[in-house]
Structure 1
């Protein structure tokens, strides 16, 4: 927070508020403009990713701004950022704005950004220290210690009983550690004693103090206490001078794990530590992917529920039909019983409940006991078995057809699940919702607003100059493959794995091996196999791809194809995205 405060001060003091957005109920974005630059300041009160920093990834905004957003626009539009304050090393920043009220008088408004996990909040405070409004209002039923309601005096969160390295010497921290229970792990002891440090920093101090060993305060040697004193002194100097640098820890699979203002060595060769240029870039890189998934998950809950219910219903239906189909496998026995009764009517009398006949269909000619209806004649009993046989045969044909249709529908829903997992903006969700309405899974709702225009497919350029188009969803896959692509273009799709249709635009040229491989990488990256290795990707000319009559969106058949195996490379895909953004 101290480093973020410094970045905001250096870049945006004196900047004016140009626009204010509220993408969702837990996030705000302030567009700040100076005479030479513009910045987007993200304020998040989301429990698992609360933070404040400059961002390049601006979330999509709702069509109608929430009430708090309109209030902030009214009070802070055009206001100048005058100061950024941080009490000690507390996890909150106070942004002071010079604004003009309704009477034209200049006033000092403060935006309190509290970064405290699930208690995070964004609060607007007026010139008299009164709360104007807050992102999360807290009444007496929610908390008896601190109320956050319009009209009340704003009070800082109650301080924790921790030591601030801006105010005390490191020796005071050591004294506090000695006073803790003897069996406390050093990292937990540091976390409970010092203000403004994260668990990863405390673990790193324990790691370097013990040279990789886990330490408890009661077992530490004099040398280890001296090493701890040295590292605490060095960290205190870093904190007081706003030193340090942004470091991010990623797994070997390129997934963000941790971040810090100091180099992290505790993971050894199990992770990769990279240094970023700015702390805002660090937080942007760490949280961007996670927040996108969180936003899409929140906005797509209704679609996930529809798809899950439909998939569960189909799975139960298929299981029941398969069980019934297994029972139909006994139909030949019914026909045999009918034949044996017909061939032996002279041996059977009306009123018998069963009869034992020689089964001449079996080479061993065993005796077969056949149940009879005593109320029926032998001929009627034979016809009863023939009727049951015909019914079972018809049921088998119908069940086989119905199971096949249900399995195809299940495969289609699987593709919708996949495209929903890749949705990145509200427009993607709108198109998926429209697709489900067209297929009858969602009831169409009357709306005066026009449906959003269909988005263009994702576009890339291979390293040797070929255009590559990737469909975003099933409806776009159909449009891209069946209408927009040329017959001589190359069509690619992961083999037996839900994913996007990918078109390598040839424009009359022979596609190079490089272009085919890069298009296959994109097809694999935009499929369910994006986290796998050696993903099979089929490719053929568009002329060999066709859509069966009545097939669901995105479902096609193809012939005369080849298969290439690729391992999706996230860094390569991001590189192609950046190169495409530069071209535009």
Structure 2
């Protein structure tokens, strides 16, 4: 399952407390989609990973060191210029959306205090990371997207929230009123996922499980008493998230979440930060291994094709070498008995001096003259 807005909420709250006032020591960019920030905190150093990978975008702290290129990419050099040695003020989530802002206090080129932000959009293939100034202007982005006006010097505009509601701002009565407006044949889980920020399909179906309803339930199948049950389940899930969550991995379905998934075997984690780091880093490593295997398989296949062509050429040369002695003999016999070769003949029989004068048949090309046939045979011999 993807990293949804509810899990990001818990993760953001955890990292806000863990990394607040951390001093940026060094910034690296190990690959085209990933940036790491080494941060000094009282008594320890933490490394924060920010990934805009199109398959596994994420952010979390990490203990291992990634391999970094000898020459830092341009975006990495820009971050070093503006953020080292800045201080992290806070980490904020935009509502319950999959947009996270890291605000830094730093010093500008004139030595004056300044505030800059790293904005991470966790949007699958559209995931991106931006460096934005205090006026909301883009200094640069990990991926420049002209079609969305994601270019240096342009105003940063977050993606549309598609009119989704903030789940924390809705009262119980307002929630029930929203249910009343739902079209009759709409699956309830889809309505939840489409109407509220942060609710993935898994979170929406979890609401129905907590309400004691089938996840395939549509609006017309809800009794008025069910409305209250859905609202209570919705509130229960939201309060669990706002209270710090219950991070766990669910091995039977290969899912993970910062909240409980009812009726599934769970493997608890001490924090959402460690959960996201462990699960998504492993998935990322497996993806990279699969991609590397594919590249290696293609290269080996191409090399085998080249070797097969060379083998065919060498086999042909060996076959011709095996017949070289016969070709030389045929050429010498035709030269010796040139006067016996009729024009336009497809073969000729001549005495073979190596076989006590026995007649041997030598194939000819009837389109060629006798002398041209002799030249053709000697050419094949050489």
TM-score interval w.r.t. the shorter chain? 0.7 to 0.9
Q: How far apart are 1:312 and its partner, in Å?
A: 5.8
**Is the 1:2–1:242 contact (alpha carbons within 8 Å) kept by the matching residues of 2?**
no
In structure 2, relative to structure 1, the CA distance for the partners of 1:224 and 1:375 (3 Å cut) is: farther
Once the two structures are superposed, the pairs formed by residues 215-230 of structure 1 within 5 Å of their partners are 215-230=217-232
Structure 1 SS opposite 2:168: coil
Structure 1 SS opposite 2:169: coil
**Is the 1:20–1:29 contact (alpha carbons within 8 Å) kept by the matching residues of 2?**
yes
Q: How many residues align?
A: 318
Check if 1:180 corresponds to 2:150. no
In structure 2, relative to structure 1, the CA distance for the partners of 1:317 and 1:84 (3 Å cut) is: same
**Is the 2:98–2:122 contact (alpha carbons within 8 Å) kept by the matching residues of 1?**
yes
Aligned equivalents of 1:56 and 1:265: distance in 2? 32
Q: How far apart are 1:212 and its partner, in Å?
A: 4.9
In structure 2, relative to structure 1, the CA distance for the partners of 1:273 and 1:125 (3 Å cut) is: same
Once the two structures are superposed, the pairs formed by residues 462-541 of structure 1 within 5 Å of their partners are none
Check if 1:62 corresponds to 2:63. no
The farther-off stretch of 67-76 and 53-62 is 53-62
**Is the 1:173–1:194 contact (alpha carbons within 8 Å) kept by the matching residues of 2?**
no
2:166 corresponds to which residue? 164
**Is the 1:56–1:284 contact (alpha carbons within 8 Å) kept by the matching residues of 2?**
no
Structure 2 SS opposite 1:68: helix
Q: How far apart are 1:177 and its partner, in Å?
A: 3.6
Give the 4+ runs in structure 1 shifted more than 6 A. 313-318, 373-377
Q: How far apart are 1:26 and its partner, in Å?
A: 0.7
Residues 103-123 of structure 1: per-residue CA shift (max 9 Å, x gap): 211111111111122221111
Q: Which one of 76, 80, 83 corresponds to residue 83 of structure 2? A: 76
Check if 1:273 corresponds to 2:274. no
Check if 1:94 corresponds to 2:101. yes
2:287 corresponds to which residue? 294
Q: How far apart are 1:246 and its partner, in Å?
A: 0.7
In structure 2, relative to structure 1, the CA distance for the partners of 1:130 and 1:311 (3 Å cut) is: same
**Is the 1:134–1:148 contact (alpha carbons within 8 Å) kept by the matching residues of 2?**
yes
- What is the RMSD of the two structures over their aligned residues, measured on CA atoms? 3.1
Q: Which one of 260, 269, 277 corresponds to residue 284 of structure 1? A: 277
Structure 1 SS opposite 2:131: strand
Structure 2 SS opposite 1:166: helix
Aligned equivalents of 1:208 and 1:383: distance in 2? 97
Aligned equivalents of 1:316 and 1:224: distance in 2? 71
In structure 2, relative to structure 1, the CA distance for the partners of 1:157 and 1:374 (3 Å cut) is: closer
1:305 corresponds to which residue? 298
Q: Which one of 2, 5, 23 corresponds to residue 9 of structure 2? A: 2
Check if 1:25 corresponds to 2:27. no
Check if 1:111 corresponds to 2:111. no
Q: How far apart are 1:57 and its partner, in Å?
A: 4.0
Q: How far apart are 1:90 and its partner, in Å?
A: 1.8
**Is the 1:23–1:62 contact (alpha carbons within 8 Å) kept by the matching residues of 2?**
yes
Structure 1 SS opposite 2:254: strand
**Is the 1:41–1:54 contact (alpha carbons within 8 Å) kept by the matching residues of 2?**
yes
Check if 1:124 corresponds to 2:131. yes
Residues 519-555 of structure 1: per-residue CA shift (max 9 Å, x gap): xxxxxxxxxxxxxxxxxxxxxxxxxxxxxxxxxxxxx
Once the two structures are superposed, the pairs formed by residues 347-386 of structure 1 within 5 Å of their partners are none
In structure 2, relative to structure 1, the CA distance for the partners of 1:104 and 1:43 (3 Å cut) is: same
Unaligned runs of 5+ in 1: 321-372, 385-584
Aligned equivalents of 1:299 and 1:20: distance in 2? 26
Unaligned runs of 5+ in 2: 1-7, 313-345, 362-382
Structure 2 SS opposite 1:46: coil
Residues 219-277 of structure 1: per-residue CA shift (max 9 Å, x gap): 223443332122012123334x43321121113xxxx72111221135x5xxx421110
Structure 2 SS opposite 1:31: strand
In structure 2, relative to structure 1, the CA distance for the partners of 1:29 and 1:103 (3 Å cut) is: same
Aligned equivalents of 1:194 and 1:96: distance in 2? 26
Aligned equivalents of 2:262 and 2:131: distance in 1? 40
1:41 corresponds to which residue? 48
In structure 2, relative to structure 1, the CA distance for the partners of 1:158 and 1:24 (3 Å cut) is: same
